Amino acid sequence: MTLLRGDCLVLLREMPNNSVDSIVTDPPYGLEFMGKDWDAPWKSDRRQTFDGTLTDARENPYGRSKVRNGMGASYGADKRAGQAFQAWFEEIAVECLRVLKPGGHLLAFGGSRTYHRLACAVEDAGFEIRDQIQWIYGSGFPKSLNLPGGLGTALKPAHEPIVLARKHLIGTVANNVLTYGTGALNIDASRIESTDSQLAEKYASVRNAGPRNNAVYGGDLRDRSEGNVEPHALGRFPANVIHDGSDEVLAGFPGEDDTSAARFFYCAKASKSERNAGLEGLPVLTGGEATDRVDGSDGPTTPRAGAGRTGGSRNHHPTVKPLALMRYLVKMVTPPNGTVLDPFLGSGTTAVAAILEGFEWVGCEMTEDYWPIIEARVAWAHEQEIPRTFALAYLPSNSSKEQS
pLDDT at 251: 77
pLDDT at 65: 36
CATH, domain 2-192+237-279+325-385, list 1.10.260.40, 3.40.50.2000, 3.50.50.60, 3.40.50.150: 3.40.50.150
pLDDT at 230: 63
Sign of the torsion angle spanned by Cα atoms 4, 9, 11, 17? positive
pLDDT at 208: 37
pLDDT at 182: 97
pLDDT at 356: 93
Q: Are 27 and 365 within 8 A, CB to CB?
A: no
Q: Where exactly does CATH 3.40.50.150 map onto the chain?
A: 2-192+237-279+325-385
pLDDT at 60: 34
pLDDT at 96: 98
Q: What is the full per-residue pLDDT of the chain (404 aa) written as tens digits?
A: 799 999 999 999 999 999 999 999 999 987 766 556 666 665 554 444 333 443 433 333 333 333 333 344 455 555 677 888 898 999 999 999 999 999 999 999 999 989 999 999 999 999 999 999 999 888 777 778 889 999 998 888 889 999 999 999 999 999 999 999 999 999 988 888 765 444 334 333 333 334 333 333 333 434 444 455 566 778 788 889 888 877 777 777 766 555 566 667 666 667 788 888 888 888 887 655 655 544 333 333 333 333 334 457 888 887 889 999 999 999 999 999 999 999 999 999 999 999 999 999 999 999 899 999 999 999 999 998 766 554 444 343 343 334 45
pLDDT at 89: 93
pLDDT at 6: 94
* SS3 per-residue string spanning the chain: CEEEECCHHHHHHCCCCCCEEEEEECCCCCCCHHHCHHHCHHHHCCCCCCCCHHHCCCCCHHHHHHCCCCCCCCCCCCHHHHHHHHHHHHHHHHHHHHHEEEEEEEEEECCCCCHHHHHHHHHHCCCEEEEEEEEECCCCCCCCCCECCCECCCCCCCEEEEEEEECCCCCCHHHHHHHHCCCCCCCHHHCECCCHHHHCCCCHHHHCCCCCCCCCCCCCCCCCCCCCCCCCCCCECCCCEEECCCHHHHCCCCCCCCCCHHHCEECCCCCHHHHHCCCCCCCCECHHHHHCECCCCCCECCCCCCCCCCCCECCCCCCCCCHHHHHHHHHHHCCCCCEEEECCCCCCHHHHHHHHCCCEEEEEECCHHHHHHHHHHHHHHHHCCCCCCCCCCCCCHHHHHCCC
